[in-house]
């Protein structure tokens, strides 16, 4: 999955920047329009105020893709709060050079304000309080495929079969991190039950936590808490391919040409954060989270409704659109937190 998505030459995300949007393979909340970035910006500003308006603060975006969301967030902050904007350092950690140059191009207007480390570990020597966040990033992190037989888990690994085709093999599990993660799932699954599991959340969050020291993390994605993720009825797992807005279920069919994604076990993300000394504080549907964070914004529109803007808000929040499919996990670490 790591190679199929991120190989520097042939990975799906390395090859072009046209995955998201109508002419791409899938929509995200960012494709709906700038309202999503505006509402995130308002939440970020509230965090800046609640943490005592630090003289320098950082927003660290992961998976910024072509820079559209960063542009929406920065435009909103600049408009809403000149002091917060002047003290802000917006940082995009982007490992893929092609995406980084597209982001630089999209964010030309904010040159000097936006920093582009190749990896968040580069920021550890200069931690700044603030916010780390990502929209639909965790689902794009590689996962292990697992299958239950004879009262134990096996891993479905990829190898090269005849005629140069990729095939799955069921193998014994030796990886100690995977064994530890699987021990948390319990047992008693039906024979042939398939799912997936990520062992890399702590590794992913650790450098971000260190780059902030304290503040807020916000992860928006599709997923469940653990007991729902590994529900007996979900016996085929959630790994999917996406191409031209159609989902597929053969992850080996066109590696590098299609998106690969699996839902997020938010319990595992919360546990990883806790192990780093951060505190998971809320897991809500995107609809409920955005609505709660938009009260002032909606009130301001009373008497002067803007239909195009409200349409975006409805798409983001209505349960039949994006409101119920996506969850938002907030994780905090206050300065005083031990």
Ligand X SMILES: C[S@@+](CC[C@H](N)C(=O)[O-])C[C@H]1O[C@@H](n2cnc3c(N)ncnc32)[C@H](O)[C@@H]1O
Residues at the contact surface with ligand X, assessed by CB under 6 A: 13, 20, 28, 30, 62-63, 65, 69, 93, 95-96, 99, 135-137, 140-141, 204
Residue number of the CB closest to ligand X reads 63
User: How far apart (Å, rounded) are the C-alpha atoms in residues 75 and 79?
Assistant: 6
What Å distances lie between residue 52 and 45, 78, 215, CA to CA?
Answer: 11, 19, 11
CB nearer to ligand X: pick between 96 and 209: 96
CB nearer to ligand X: pick between 148 and 222: 222
- List of residues 6+ apart from 29 with CB closer than 8 A: 36, 135, 136, 220, 286, 316, 322, 326
CB nearer to ligand X: pick between 51 and 93: 93
145: phi then psi, degrees, rounded to nearest 5: -100, 135
Q: How far is the CB of 158 from ligand X (least distance, A)?
A: 19
Pairing of strands 152-160, 166-171: antiparallel
Q: How far is the CB of 223 from ligand X (least distance, A)?
A: 13
Q: How far is the CB of 204 from ligand X (least distance, A)?
A: 6
68-80 vs 97-106: helix crossing angle, rounded to 10: 30
CB nearer to ligand X: pick between 51 and 207: 207
CB nearer to ligand X: pick between 96 and 290: 96
Q: How far is the CB of 165 from ligand X (least distance, A)?
A: 27
CB nearer to ligand X: pick between 185 and 262: 262
Q: Where are the beta strands (DSSP E) in the chain?
A: 57-62, 88-93, 114-115, 130-135, 144-149, 152-160, 166-171, 194-197, 215-221, 223-224, 240-243, 246-248, 259-261, 264-265, 279-285, 327-333
Q: How far is the CB of 66 from ligand X (least distance, A)?
A: 8
CB nearer to ligand X: pick between 77 and 220: 220
- Three state DSSP letters for 142-201: CCEEEEEECCEEEEEEEEECHHHCEEEEEECCCCHHHHHHHHCCCCCCCCCCEEEECCCH
Q: How far is the CB of 186 from ligand X (least distance, A)?
A: 29
> Which residues are registered as beta bridge partners of 329?
219, 283
Q: How far is the CB of 147 from ligand X (least distance, A)?
A: 25
């Amino acid at each position: 999955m790591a190679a199929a998505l991120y190989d520097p030459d042939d990975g799906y995300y390395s090859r072009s920047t046209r995955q998201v949007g109508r002419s791409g393979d899938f929509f995200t909340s960012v494709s709906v329009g700038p309202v999503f970035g505006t509402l995130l910006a308002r939440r970020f500003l509230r965090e800046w105020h609640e943490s005592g308006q630090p003289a320098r603060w950082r927003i660290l975006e992961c998976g910024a893709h072509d820079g559209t969301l960063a542009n929406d967030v920065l435009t909103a902050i600049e408009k809403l709060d000149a002091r917060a904007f002047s003290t802000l350092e917006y940082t995009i950690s982007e490992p893929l050079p092609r995406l980084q140059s597209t982001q630089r191009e999209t964010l030309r207007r904010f040159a000097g304000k936006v920093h582009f480390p190749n990896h968040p570990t580069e920021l550890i020597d200069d931690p700044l309080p603030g916010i780390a966040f990502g929209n639909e990033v965790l689902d794009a992190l590689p996962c292990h495929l697992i299958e239950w037989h004879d009262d134990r888990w096996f891993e479905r690994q990829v190898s090269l079969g005849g005629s140069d085709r990729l095939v799955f093999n069921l193998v014994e599990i030796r990886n100690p991190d995977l064994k530890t993660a699987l021990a948390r799932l319990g047992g008693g699954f039906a024979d042939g039950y398939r799912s997936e599991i990520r062992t890399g959340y702590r590794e992913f969050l650790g450098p971000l936590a260190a780059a902030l020291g304290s503040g807020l993390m916000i992860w928006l994605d599709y997923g469940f808490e653990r007991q729902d993720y590994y529900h007996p009825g979900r016996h085929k797992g959630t790994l999917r391919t996406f191409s031209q807005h159609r989902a597929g279920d053969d992850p080996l069919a066109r590696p590098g040409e299609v998106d690969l994604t699996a839902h997020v076990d938010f319990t595992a993300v919360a546990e990883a954060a806790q192990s780093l000394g951060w505190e998971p504080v809320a897991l809500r549907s995107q609809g409920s989270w955005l609505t709660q964070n938009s009260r002032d914004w909606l009130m301001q529109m009373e008497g002067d409704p803007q239909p195009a803007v409200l349409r975006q808000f409805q798409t983001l929040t209505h349960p039949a659109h994006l409101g119920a499919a996506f969850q938002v996990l907030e994780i905090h670490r206050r300065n005083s937190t031990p």
